[in-house]
Amino acid sequence: MGDNEKSPTSLKRSLGLGHVFVISTGGTISAGLFFLPSFAAAKAGPSAILAYLIAGLLALPAMLSVAELSTAMPRAGGLYYFLARALGPAGGTVTSVSTWLSLVMKDAFALVAMSAYLALIGIDLPSKLTAVILIALFTLLNIVGSKTGVSIQVAMVGFLLVVVVWFLAAGMPEVGNAAGDFEPFFSKGSEGLIAAIGLVFVSYGGLTKVASMAEEVEDPSRNIPLGVILSLFVSTVVYTLGMLVVVAVIPQSDLYGDLAPLHTAAETYMPAVGAGFVIAAALAAFASAANAGILSAARYPMAMSRDGLMSDSFLKMSRFDTPIWGIILTGIGMTVIVVAFGAGAIAKLASAFVLVKLALVNLAVIVLRGARINSYAPGFRSPLFPYLHIFGIILSIYLIFKLGVLPIVLVCVSVAVTMLWFHYFGSKKVKQTAGAIHHIFERLGQAADTSVDREISAAMQSHGLRSEDDYAGLIARATVLSVPEDGDITEAATRASQVLSNILRVEPEDVRERFLETGSLWIQPSETHPTATPVAFFDDSEVDHLVIVRSETGIVIPAEWGGRNEMVNALFFLAGTANKPGRSLRLAGELAAYLHSDDAMVVAEASFESEVKEALLPGLEVGQYLLLPETEIGALIGKTIEELQVDEDLHIEAIYRRGEIIQPLPETGLMADDQLTIIGPSGSVPTSAEIAGKFIKKPDLN
């Protein structure tokens, strides 16, 4: 029953696996395919084909890390949200500036490339002037809110992929007998190949864009990792085969310096209409990437402003409800880059800052796992930890140094300036937590800032349930208790621990200490129905259990419980399974989402346990039946679960027997004094008499 229920937030989760693939692929296949091959060939000669393939393989550690972070904290805000919570405000500031610069440079590069393809259709202005005009146009479009919707993005990426597949299918037969020259394959040596690998890394920078939309993805634990990896695979194949065709059909002397290499290649073996479609696909890819990139980049100053790291001006929205000053700053940054540098230098700089970003992503996973925060329970864990992540960091640093002096200098200068700015400005106003890295400092003898536990815990509210997560069953099995007016959190925890002790077969003191030790709390900010959800994990439990403790006068959450002296009127003690912490945290997040609804008031005001449960299960009804021999429903005593004649839309969730919860298996027999819990759609749960009537033998009137 719980598998099919939708939470109040489920409508926000409208992006499936196909959307994740489209967002990642649409942000990736752009200038790296249509514009960059000539620059890569100039670095490595024909071995530039391998540069794209190797770069795709080497991007895998960071992409796996992005997938892990996105499933642990599926919140809007992109990489800044993840990395700031892992590395603290100083690391978050460096991350945000580096990511913003990588987006600015990547989008500037795309618009320089777009100017080259516009020249093919008669708009033949100087490339820098054309790029500046395009920047102004897309900046204005983003200010007025004209951004590409997901459905349009799907159509654009679909068109792009169709044209690219056509280009590759027609071009592959030409590889063996075309004019291109593969000899010598390593004409620029190993150093040229390595330099080309670093250069083309910018091509894979768009794969991280899905992180900013993680909160809108259905079943993020499955769809984000699968979508990102599938997109990386497809992008790597497209880039590698595309470069192979270009090198095969264009002589090396002509390829170097060609600013529209795919169109040049298409003209040699495709009909005129095919070459025209290549131009159209290139312009669509550039426009889509630049348009989405400007708005994505504009979110970073806005996110930093929320944390007190930048001026409040970046929080102001235009009358079109867009972050106007972040968009303007991004447009100015792109203009400066285009005016100051040539296309090749922009590509190097963009790749350098993409590599910085990917190194920080790998570092964040190492920090978050090393911090051993109970609430960090990603639905997907990147493999070979920490070796794969350390390799990714070292690789990024190595490739940055292979890009040349200019990228190294600008990366170092940007980091130094950012740290100075944080020290003299941001550190005085920062609102953000110290980050998970301080948990590692704690083990080195310094203090940890445990407030990051709560932020990561709260992020799980955005996670959504998997199909196997039985939220309805969790609520149906729950025990509801109350504490007297003078009861405090110690008494609430003691009462909850006594109940859970019988279920888990763990000493009450051990249960209570486990909750006190964990202290992962979702504090609801609503003044009308404030609640908290302590979560603890138990090794021998296979099923999640919940005890709800209510108080009419309120319970204070002290600092040792992870609180800030908030007053709550209900505590939801969730005993999770240690071998599946992600499921427990998803259930806690779903519970937190329901507690934001108006129906949650019933939790504090309800007179009966069934009313409390129904408040947390919108659209469902809970029936609880005590099997006493002297009552009509006593006719069920001695029957097995499979013998009970209940409708198909009803579900038997729990059997309470002498303080324990019995799993209702088909062969389970019912005993006297058992309490049966059944849930079903509102109005469908039968009364005790209706159930009993099906088993009471009627007299034979004949």
- Count of structural domains, the chain: 3
Same domain, 419 and 550: no
Q: Which is nearest to 644 in space by CA: 688, 611, 609, 614? A: 688
pLDDT recorded at residue 301: 86
Residue 120 lies in a domain: yes
| Beta pairing class for 535-538 and 566-577 | parallel
**The pLDDT of residue 5 is above 50:** no
DSSP β-ladder status, 675-681 and 651-657: antiparallel
pLDDT band at 154 (very low <50, low <70, confident <90, very high): confident
Are 132 and 46 part of one and the same domain?
A: yes
Q: Kindly indicate the confidence band of residue 87, based on its pLDDT and cuts at 50, 70 and 90.
A: confident
The confidence score (pLDDT) of residue 237 equals 96
Q: What is the mean pLDDT of the chain?
A: 83
pLDDT value at residue 463: 56
What pLDDT band is residue 288 in, cutting at 50, 70 and 90?
confident
The per-residue pLDDT for range 541-599, each reduced to its tens digit, is: 888 999 999 988 888 888 777 667 788 888 999 998 888 877 887 788 788 777 766 55
Distance of alpha carbon 90 from alpha carbon 13, whole angstroms: 32
Question: Domain of 624: which CATH number?
Answer: 3.30.70.1450
Do 369 and 479 have their domain in common?
no
381 shares its domain with 476:
no
pLDDT of 460 higher than 70: no
Half-sphere exposure of 101 (CA within 13 A, CB side): 26
Whether 10 maps to a domain, the answer reads: no
Distance CA 458, CA 452 (A): 10
Please report whether residue 401 resides in a domain. yes
Q: What is the pLDDT of residue 448?
A: 47
Q: What CATH number is given to the structural domain containing 596?
A: 3.40.930.10
Quick one: 88 and 160 in the same domain? Answer: yes
Which residue range forms the structural domain that includes residue 374?
Answer: 16-429
Residue 458 belongs to some domain of the structure? no
Question: CB-based burial of residue 119 (10 Å sphere; 0-12 exposed, 13-18 middle, 19+ buried)?
Answer: middle
Within a domain: residue 597?
yes
Tell me whether strands 479-482 and 545-557 are parallel, antiparallel or unpaired: parallel
Model confidence pLDDT, tens digit, residues 31-67: 999 999 999 999 999 999 999 999 999 999 999 999 9
- Same-domain status, 602 and 671: no
pLDDT of 701: 47
Q: What is the pTM of this model?
A: 0.76
Does the pLDDT of residue 6 top 80, yes or no? no
Are 201 and 327 in the same domain? yes
47, two tokens: 């071995």
Q: Is the pLDDT of residue 456 over 90?
A: no
Is the confidence at residue 423, as pLDDT, over 80? yes
Q: Are residues 74 and 176 in the same domain?
A: yes
Q: What is the CATH number of the domain that holds 32?
A: 1.20.1740.10
Same domain, 419 and 470: no
Per-residue pLDDT tens over the stretch 275-287 = 999 999 999 889 8
Answer with the one of 559, 582, 615 that is the final residue of a domain. Answer: 615
- pLDDT at residue 694 in the model: 76
Looking at the fold, whether 531 and 634 belong to one and the same domain comes out as no
Q: What is the mean pLDDT of residues 332-351?
A: 94
Identify the domain boundary among 554, 584, 615: 615
Question: What's the confidence (pLDDT) of residue 177?
Answer: 72
DSSP state of 672: T
Q: Specify if 441 maps to a domain.
A: no
Q: Is the dihedral of CA 666, 668, 670, 675 positive or negative?
A: negative
The confidence score (pLDDT) of residue 702 equals: 47
Residue 619: exposure state from Cβ atoms within 10 A (0-12, 13-18, ≥19): exposed
Question: Does residue 544 form part of some domain?
Answer: yes
Same domain for 542 and 661, yes or no, is: no
Contact 677/696 with Cβ under 8 angstroms? no
Last residue of a domain, one of 564, 589, 615: 615
| Residues 168, 50 share a domain | yes
- What would the pLDDT profile of 433-444 be if each residue is shown by its tens digit? 555 555 554 444
pLDDT digits (tens, 9 = 90+) for 508-551: 999 988 887 765 566 665 565 678 888 888 987 888 999 999 98
